[in-house]
Amino acid sequence: MNNSTCGPGELTWPQPVTSIFYTYTGLVLVLGLLLNSLALWVLCCRMQQWTETRVYMANLAMADLCLLCTLPFMLYSLKNGTTDTPLCQLSQGIYLANRYMSISLIMAIAVDRYMAVRHPMRVRGLRSPRQATAMCMALWVLVVGSLVLRWVLGVQEGGFCFTSPSSQSSNTVIFSLLGFYLPLAVLVFCSLQVVTALGRRPTADSGQVEVTQKAARMVWANLVVFVVCFLPLHVVLTVRVATSLPTCVIRRALYVTSRLSDGNCCLDAICYYYLAKEFREASARAGPPPAKAHKSQESLCATLA
């Protein structure tokens, strides 16, 4: 179609815009699957010691992979106005669960990093791979449980699918807003606290100064990536709840900002590379024994987009 339309069961764009969306989504899908599969293989098969951050990173890579696998079904549903079929409901559930699982994991690792930097002695006995695994399991249960409740409400309000009326309902949108703004507040607080602590940390030599500065830059960079990827989508959802703008305008804004948030799956995987690079540099320069130095720098640098 040459003109963009926005009917009750479809959302169409001018052909050039549609081509851009499909090209972008295809790149996200291919790069995301490749990079996250590689990251998961390295985390599970090539690294020798399990740490708190490694547990969180492995769960994040798995969540990103699951979300990426739903993108073809999501595009098909949006293009064809698919009704509320079991396959569409399943795809929608997996898509939303893994988006908010990724956000929740970022919050969890931010808290872990904050406690390690600001209160290292107080939490020494609380931080362990086992505790991180328990936290991840609790987050999976919480996110999936909230999605089940959202699914029940969605079915009652017109369906639980990408094109269903309930996807615009205030009752179900509230779940998304709570699942983002609370982690955002925690992430901002923890990031500011960590950067402040790093800036005040005494440094013995220029090498340690460089490592500390890199860690601080990673904290800022990943906070910016998180905000850029996820904030626009949830601002649109907030506007949807707070105002009565035309549904077509909201649907178009949601489509664009949702595609932006999908790109976070690739950025997560890219962060794995720089994170590993920082680990190697920190381990080579730090004064303590290698294993302890590696874990200490991992606590400072591990921030996920």
pLDDT of 89-98, one tens digit each? 788 888 888 9
Q: What is the pLDDT of residues 162-182, one digit of tens each?
A: 655 545 556 667 778 888 999
Specify the length of the chain in residues: 305
Predicted pLDDT at 257: 92
**305 touches 63 (CB < 8 A):** no
Q: Which residues of 123-154 are buried (b: 16+ CB within 10 A; e: fewer)?
A: eeeebeeeebbebbeebbeebeebbeebbebb
Predicted pLDDT at 77: 72
Q: What is the pLDDT of residues 193-242, one digit of tens each?
A: 988 888 877 666 666 777 777 878 888 888 998 999 999 999 998 888 88
CA distance 281 to 278: 5
pTM to 2 decimal places: 0.81
Ordered by start, the domain boundaries in the chain are: 18-158+167-283
Predicted pLDDT at 205: 64
The first and second tokens of residue 25, run together, are 């989504």
Predicted pLDDT at 296: 44
**106 touches 139 (CB < 8 A):** no
One pLDDT digit (tens) per residue for the chain, 305 residues: 444 556 545 567 778 888 898 899 999 999 999 989 988 888 888 777 888 888 998 999 999 999 999 888 877 776 666 566 777 778 888 888 899 999 999 999 889 888 888 888 777 777 888 899 999 999 999 998 888 887 777 654 444 566 555 455 566 677 788 889 999 999 999 999 988 888 877 666 666 777 777 878 888 888 998 999 999 999 998 888 887 665 778 888 888 999 999 999 988 877 766 655 554 444 344 444 444 444 444 444 443 33
Predicted pLDDT at 155: 55
The first and second tokens of residue 246, run together, are 């035309």
Predicted pLDDT at 283: 36
Considering the domain 18-158+167-283 in this protein, what is its CATH number? 1.20.1070.10
CA distance 291 to 44: 18
Among 64, 194, 48, 55, smallest CA distance to 138 is for 55
Predicted pLDDT at 216: 82
